[in-house]
Amino acid sequence: MSRKIVVSEFMTLDGVMEDPGGSEHTPFGGWAFKFGRGSAGDGFKLDELMAADALLLGRKTYEGFAAVWPSIEDEAGFAERMNGLPKYVVSSTLTEPTWNATAIGFEEIEQLDGTLLVAGSQQLTQALLEHGLVDELRLVLYPTSVGAGKKLFETPADFTLVSAVPSEQVVLLTLARA
């Protein structure tokens, strides 16, 4: 089996990926809830999760997800899949991972197999981009600019457009590493 790293992010027009849901309580957070992503957008997110063999997360994103997802139930099967997938958390400070997780060092990513889905995890995403390890980007582009916040791209990277699909108020982008 080979390794494929898929980075999936909600992103504003000005490239911000920070605090789309508002749980981080930043001054500009919660921007994703202002717009509908439609059934195609929901399917886009479900399909990428169902295609993943494991989640690859940074510590902060892992801790935020682990605090919420175990108590969520839904009819589409998203929560069941999210909770059931193995998780690899890239961290040197996480000592007792729970929620089906294993703490690893960045250098151990190269030893993992299968399709690894990265969500959030801005610092990890930056390191993956810097080391040329991102195979695919799956972006939900929201029609807003927030003017401040952590950006998706801080490192030059080239990708090829695979698809761009409008869905309600967002655009669903899939890009492959060039």
Residue 108, Cα to own-chain centre: how many angstroms?
A: 19
pLDDT in tens, 77-90: 999 999 999 999 99
Angle at 73 between CA 67 and CA 75, to 5 degrees: 150
Q: What are phi and psi of 83, to 5 degrees?
A: -75, -30
Which residues, at least 6 apart from 16, have a Cβ–Cβ distance to it below 8 Å? 28, 31, 145, 146, 148, 149, 150, 151, 152
pLDDT in tens, 86-139: 999 999 999 889 999 999 999 999 999 999 999 999 999 999 999 999 999 999
pLDDT in tens, 145-162: 999 999 999 888 999 999
Tell me the domains of the chain and their CATH numbers: 3-177 (3.40.430.10)
Q: Which residue in 94, 85, 88, 91 sits closest to 56, CA to CA?
A: 88
Secondary structure element (H or E) that encloses residue 64, with its range = helix 59-68
- Residue 76: the pLDDT is 81
Rounded Cα gap, residues 167 and 71, in angstroms: 28
134 within 8 A of 128, measured Cβ to Cβ: yes
- The DSSP 8-state label assigned to residue 24 in this structure reads T
Model-wide pTM > 0.75 = yes
What average pLDDT does the segment 2-25 reach?
95
Q: Which residue in 151, 160, 110 sits closest to 11, CA to CA?
A: 151
98: number of Cβ within 10 Å:
10
